[in-house]
Every structure is written in structure tokens, then in C-alpha cells.
Amino acid sequence: MSEEQFKRLVGSPDLSFVRKIVFYSDDHVSLRDLQVAMSRNISVTFEHSPTKRIDGLVQKKELLWITPDIPIDQTITQLSIDYNGQKISSQTLAQLNLQSLKINNVVGDSFDEIDPHNKLEIGKLSLEFADKQPSIDMIHSKFDVEKIVSLELKFKTRPHENELIKLMGKLKSLTNLALMCQNIRFDRILEPLEKNALQTFYVNVMGRFDSFSSTIISEILKNQKQSIQKISWSNKRLNIRSKTYGLDDFERLYES
């Protein structure tokens, strides 16, 4: 749909039949048209340009600040952040009704301090770590892990297996899991999960092209055989500069 077609849609009675709008670019979408769509309780999301997405969804009243330079409206339920060194306000995030949170370039001290008795409740969480040897203990300290239903973790190298095992044992509501990292003992990682709870398992192994037989995958998912519905297993060389597709891309292609 072109910019002009979208403007005509916003100004027509047909907008009352629209429930969700997904933009693949926001270069020519006006703030006014977005505000009109949001005023009709239409879900508006962007596949790319998260910074512009945040700017575009801001309304001019009751602003909260995720970081000192990123204001955001309280009505937003889905949020993407490219961490740029400014501390992310855990207190502000806790005041929002967020259902989905995606943060790129996460480091160990990306967040400011948070009340341990008021952890962030996020159903769908995606974190891309910038550190070469990242610690994921911050997930325990910042998020109510028992409320996470969908989790996507992207690592540049090999994560600490013991930390992942510890985390998996606390994910009592998890049904969708995506891991992008160098090859690890995925069977050990998934062992602590609730049995027959996982519905989607997405893996992108960074590094050399190892061969994974159906027998190996079956062993990794031995405790999830009665619940698993969708599996994606792929490899990507570390020196290849191409987009790393994630869980959302997989779900969209699977449903198409």
C-alpha cells in the first residue's frame, strides 16, 4: 500500500473494519495518520526502524521517558529499543502495559536500578546481547521470569550454559523459545523446562555448518514431544553479513 492509499484509508469509513496495521517502513508515514489509526484502537506495529517507530507512536500528552531522549506514550503495548548507552528506565517500563518488549545491543548495565519486588512483567521478550561474553543474570533481576511466555535470546558468541540452564528452570509459563548463538548443548539447556510445555523451538546456530540429524533434534526435545508444534533449525557462518532472522520472521513465514 502506498502512502497516498494509506491516507485515503485513514480518511474513509473502511478504517472501522481494520484491527491491525503492520508497516515494513515508516519513512513516509505521517504522525497525524498514525494518531488517527491509534485513536480507533487499531494495533500499529513496525517491522523495521524502531527509533522512528517510537517517535511516530508518541502522543503529545502524559509522556513517559524510557531513556532521557526517548519519550513514549502509555498506551503502547509493544516496544522495540535500540540501546545506545542511555540507561533504560525500568520504573517507566513498569508503568506501561507492555505485552512485548524487544531490546537490541543489550549490555549488563543497560537498565537502571529496579525494585526487586516490582519486576517487569513481559509476556514476549526478545534480547540481543552486544557483549562478547554476556551474562544473562540481568534477566532474573529485571523481569518476572515466571510470566514470560515467549523468549528470544541472540548472542554474538557462546553463552554461559550454566546461566541458561538456571534461567530455563524458572520459565514456568514458556511456550515459545528462540536461541541464536554458537553451538552449545541444547539438550542440557532445555532439560529444566516444564515437560510438554514448549510449542515452538527456533534455533540459529552461529559458526560452522554442523549437521543435525532428526535423531539429535528428537533427543533435544525428548521432554517436549507431546506439545511441540513448530521447529526451525538453521546455521549461519559468523563472517557472513546478512540479516539474522528471528522468531517473528519464522512465525510470519510459517503462517503464510
**Tens digits of per-residue pLDDT, 227-248?**
999 988 877 655 445 555 556 6
pLDDT confidence of residue 58: 40
Mean pLDDT, rounded, for 10-25: 77
Question: Do residues 141 and 170 touch, judged by C-beta distance below 8 A?
Answer: no
pLDDT confidence of residue 1: 64
pLDDT confidence of residue 62: 41
pLDDT confidence of residue 183: 85
pLDDT confidence of residue 49: 47
Mean pLDDT, rounded, for 44-62: 47
- Look up the pTM and report it: 0.70
**Tens digits of per-residue pLDDT, 81-115?**
888 788 888 888 888 888 999 998 888 788 887 77
Distance (Å, whole) CA 58 – CA 31: 8
% of the chain with per-residue pLDDT over 90: 29
Give the pLDDT band of residue 208 (cuts 50, 70, 90): low
pLDDT confidence of residue 83: 84
- Give the domains, in start order, of the chain with CATH numbers: 1-57 (no CATH), 63-255 (3.80.10)
3-state secondary structure of 230: strand
Whole-number mean pLDDT of the chain? 78
pLDDT confidence of residue 191: 95
Q: What cell was used for 45? A: 506495529
Q: What cell was used for 21? A: 496495521
Mean pLDDT, rounded, for 168-188: 92
Question: Do residues 198 and 175 touch, judged by C-beta distance below 8 A?
Answer: yes
Residue 189 CA, chain-centre distance (Å), reads 20
Distance (Å, whole) CA 196 – CA 225: 6
Residue 226 CB coordination number (10 Å): 8
Give the pLDDT band of residue 192 (cuts 50, 70, 90): very high
Distance (Å, whole) CA 157 – CA 132: 6
Give the pLDDT band of residue 61 (cuts 50, 70, 90): very low
pLDDT confidence of residue 43: 72
pLDDT at 122 over 60: yes
CA distances from 143 to 28, 81, 96, 101 (A): 35, 16, 14, 11
pLDDT confidence of residue 217: 83
* DSSP E strand stretches across 24-74: 43-46, 64-67, 70-72
Distance (Å, whole) CA 126 – CA 220: 22
